[in-house]
Amino acid sequence: MSGLGAAVGPLLPVVIVVATGAGLARLGLLPPEVRRGVEKLVYFVLLPALLVDKLSSASLVGIGGDVARMGAALGSATLAVAGLVLLLSRVAGVPERSRGTLAQAGIRGNLAFVGLPVVALAAGGDPGPAARAALVLGPMVVLYNVVSVPLLIGVDRSGGPAAAARRVARPLATNPILLACVGGLALAAMPALPGPAARSVALLGQPAGPLALLCLGAAITAFPVRTRLRHAALAIAFKSVAIPAFAVGAGVALGLRGDDLRSVAIFASAPTAVASYVLTTQLGGDEELAAAAIAATTVFSVVPLTLAMSI
């Protein structure tokens, strides 16, 4: 399959489900009050179940060598670009409330629904690259959430460093997404869950992606996304240009070559994850910017994904 075809393939279902959500909203079948309820369901129940399911079933054996270097390349790019977004967003005049949302949109990739399928397609019949990439996915999900929650809630420095630390620590310690990541990784190190329990968690997690995409489509019709095109362009610059450049550069510096370097490039080129919209709505971020960024990076990601496929 050509690079363009492999890049577009996993994106089409995402675009179609988002468009379906927009259509349902316009028909009055997914009004704002219903969408808000579904978003809470996804955030507090379904998405945590999905994370527990995926992380608990991940193998922790073999996290070393090339897998560690892949994670280091993606992780260092994530942290570097998060800092870069916060710095440049001030210069660009992005409102303070929107800076954390823009930073999350600029770093959080759709690894499960876009990145991993493209890696598998690029590898042809070789299961090795996809298996190694899957080992990187879990730690990256944890990193995304550990970085994103403080970005979205901000840091109120009043009352001194100790008080500021407590204000940041409390929502981190009670965040359902972070708790699901910790629980899933803990379960991965333990004997497997009994069959019925594991299947129940998996069943709960299955609707998370489709429902989040439907809510995103409905939100795009509710918010004046066209008025956020400048911020959406910034999200593209950070997510679809800066992150791939940083990650590939770090991967080369760490000695990655061939399939593993290509996998890093593909993961880094994935569009902004729909989970970033769910997190933004529940933590009081800029919902309009989050929706605009996901839509814009999803469309534009065909370009960096096609380039990544050529590595």
- Give tens-digit pLDDT for 238-276: 999 999 999 999 999 999 999 999 999 999 999 898 888
> What is the mean pLDDT of the segment spanning 290-307?
87
Q: Which residue has the higher pLDDT, 267 or 51?
A: 267
pLDDT tens-digit map of 176-220: 877 887 888 788 778 777 888 889 998 998 888 788 888 878 877
The pTM assigned to this predicted structure is 0.75
Average pLDDT taken over every residue of the chain: 83
Q: Report d(CA 131, CA 123) in Å as an integer.
A: 11
Select, from the ranges 123-127, 226-230, 242-246, the one with the highest average predicted confidence (pLDDT): 242-246
> What is the mean pLDDT of the segment spanning 53-75?
78
Bridge partner residues of 250 (DSSP)? none
Q: Which residue has the higher pLDDT, 212 or 88?
A: 88
pLDDT of residue 195: 83
CA-closest candidate to residue 54, choices 162, 160, 146, 185? 185
pLDDT of residue 167: 59
CA-closest candidate to residue 240, choices 296, 184, 281? 296
Q: Give yes or no for a contact between 177 and 279, defined as CB atoms under 8 angstroms apart.
A: yes
Report whether pLDDT(4) > 70: no
Q: Name residue, tokens 């510096």.
A: 253
CA-closest candidate to residue 111, choices 276, 307, 306? 276
> What is the mean pLDDT of the segment spanning 119-143?
78
pLDDT of residue 156: 47
Q: Which residue has the higher pLDDT, 226 or 305?
A: 305
> What is the mean pLDDT of the segment spanning 280-289?
86
Cα→Cα distances 170→166, 183, 211, 295, Å: 6, 18, 28, 32
> What is the mean pLDDT of the segment spanning 92-101?
87
| Burial class of residue 310, CB neighbours in 10 A (0-12, 13-18, 19+) | exposed
Q: Buried b vs exposed e over 228-259: b needs ≥16 C-beta within 10 Å?
A: beebbebbbbbbbbbbbebbbebbeebebeeb
pLDDT of residue 263: 93
